Chain A
Amino acid sequence: MSAKQRKWIFQILPYSILALIGVCFLLPLLWVLVASVDTNAMQSLKTPTHLTGNNYVDVLTNKDNQRAFLIGLFMSGGQAVLVVILGLLAAYPLSRYQLKYKKPFMLTILFMTSLPITAVMVPVYQLFLSLKLYNNIFGVILFFVASAMPYGIWMLKNFMDSVPSELEEAAWIDGASVFVGIRKVVAPLMIPGICTVAIFTFSGSWGNFFVPYILLQSPENFPASLKIYQFFGQYGMADYGKLAAFSVMYAIPSVMLYILSQRFMSKGFGMQGGMKG
């Protein structure tokens, strides 16, 4: 093999390996997209018999599905709002005050961001039974808030650190209270940070299956993540087209929010902040 040939191979090799990886990643995804517009979708990827939007229409016009989507939006939206508000409040003294136990507190928070939630679900279930929160949508929101709180506090505290305190002091001189200072001066300057936290919390719970699966019982309380699982079991084998359409609809908010989050994450993707996927 001549040196020229070798050089050529080294040029082309990374491209072919990447292309192969790309195809492997693409095929399962392509199936769900194609099957969702196929009148006669099968388990394997194939060219559609006829293109149709009926799968989407059927899924969207179903009252139960609409309900599941709304519940999902309500749960994840409610969680995101609460995490941001409570997180901002908690971040304020952690960022601005000289507190004695700040460092161990922040380390505990960081520690909590990485604990597997799965491991506490059995006692949480028992706790929900005794607090009469079992099968209650608001109960699930509270648990979601608690589980995302460490991440929210950690991120918002770091974002708040970068807002200079002089601006706030100027507002105080003009007679603003501490709360008004946070609301009118600090929070507006943290919009990218707030959006990042809101988006990551929202998509985290929107895609979460285990927590609502344990804490909710009646189908009329199911968010989209559970509805789709139920759908999988009931009609999955018979109607791949509708199942695929439902899946695409359900995945859309996560995809949109991810794209949106890219606009706010100016620094790109770093390890700082203990991001959770």
Chain B
Amino acid sequence: MSSLAVQGMEKRRKTWTWVYFLLPSVAIMLVFFIYPILLTVFYSFTNLALTGEAAKDLQFVGLDNYTRMFEDPTVRTSIWNTLVFLIGSAVIGQQVLGFLIALFMKHRNKWFRRVIGTIVLAGWVTPEIVCALCLYSFFGDEGTLNAILQSFGMSEVTWLYTVPMITIILANIWHGTAFSMLVFQAALDDVPSEIEEAAIVDGASKWQVLMRVTIPYIKETITTNMMLVTLQTLGVFGLIYAMTGGGPGTSTTTLPIFMYNQAFVNYQLGYGTAISLLLLFIGIILSLFYIRSMKE
């Protein structure tokens, strides 16, 4: 009898009941996630606008948004800014700094590790708008950095105006490094100490051990982390928007900021979605690489 009950369940679970289980979550993802992605493609070929004639009368404009995009010098600037921001804050900044912190922390005093680890983590746990505020006031004209310079008798610098890109890169490093630090700490702990010791016995220097043994051993973690951090950085909006608003001029206008300005400040939704699609396209390529690295 009892085994019959189980068999009955087994039978039922193999039929179509799974549809009920998956339906609610799949439906909500279809409506609010997949459908908007398809809409992005659709709208990018239209003149969709929030105000004016085009708002009432949606028309296909073919590749107009795209030709406009490739002729628009601000798009080129935004792509360039996005690349600088990605490479500076994600690929180099968070990865290298996160790795170095994790490496230096290994075998250090426990108490010291704790303090430094907590400080770096605090920047990660803090919501992005608060990060923007903290770093805005740090780099502000009368901010902490200038106060420090002054106390050393150096002249003040208007950081947010003269080197705005550097300030947002540093802000994103401040906000994001802990993630890479945690990932690399876990990865470095998994490197068997025997193989590192064996290399030292064979006469390798510390530098050689790092380059020839440790880094090759955690190569996959580095690739996966790189994809994840880049994907996260690609979508950064609030941090930049609250710190510099994309300015002065267009000097910190990355693709998300440019997309926002086109769609919601200039009310050109069609053009805005064409830019979204560019962003999405970069994201999709990176995601595919990320999945490939996870599958292995």
- Residues in B with CB closer than 8 Å to A258 are 121, 125
Select one of B5, B105, B284, B294 contacting A173, CB under 8 A: B5
Interface bin, chain A: 35 or more
Q: Known contacts A110-B294, A122-B269, A214-B264: does B13 contact A97 (CB below 8 Å)?
A: yes
The digit string for A163-187, where 1 denotes a CB below 8 A from any CB of B, is 0000001001101001000000000
Name the one of A15, A21, A90, A277 contacting B21, with C-beta atoms under 8 angstroms.
A90
Chain B interface residue count, CB cutoff 8 Å, equals 101
Given A99-B18, A276-B232, does the pair A146, B48 have CB atoms closer than 8 Å? no
Task: Report if A228-B125 is in contact (Cβ < 8 Å); known contacts: A44-B137, A119-B279.
Answer: no
Q: Is residue A9 within 8 Å, beta carbon to beta carbon, of the partner chain?
A: no
**A120/B18 in contact, CB under 8 A:** no
CB nearest neighbor in B for A121: B276
- Report Cα–Cα, A271/B36, bound state, in Å: 29
Q: A32-B130, A110-B294 are in contact. Are A122 and B120 (CB under 8 A)?
A: no
The A/B interface has a contact count, at CB < 8 Å, of: 283
| CB <8 Å contact, B40 and A149 | no
Decide if B283 touches A116 in the complex (CB within 8 Å).
Answer: yes
When each residue 256-296 of chain B gets 1 if its CB lies under 8 Å from chain A and 0 otherwise, what string results? Answer: 10010001100001001100110110011011101100110
Cross-chain contact A255 with B279 (CB below 8 angstroms) = no
Quick check: B116 and A122 within 8 Å, CB to CB? Answer: no
Choose from A229, A250, A271 the contact partner of B183 (Cβ within 8 Å). Answer: A271
Q: Name the prevailing secondary structure of the A interface residues.
A: helix
- Contact indicator A254/B288 (Cβ below 8 Å): no
**At the interface, yes or no: B157 with Cβ under 8 Å from chain A?**
no
- The answer to whether A274 and B228 have CB atoms under 8 Å apart is yes
In the complex the two chains form, is B129's CB within 8 Å of A146's CB? Answer: no
Contact: A124 with B29, CB < 8 Å? no
Min CB gap B223→A, angstroms: 10
Most buried by A among B134, B179, B236, B242: B134
Q: Which chain A residues border B259 with CB–CB below 8 Å?
A: 118-119, 122
Residue from B13, B48, B143, B234 in contact with A126 in the complex, judged by beta carbons closer than 8 Å: B48
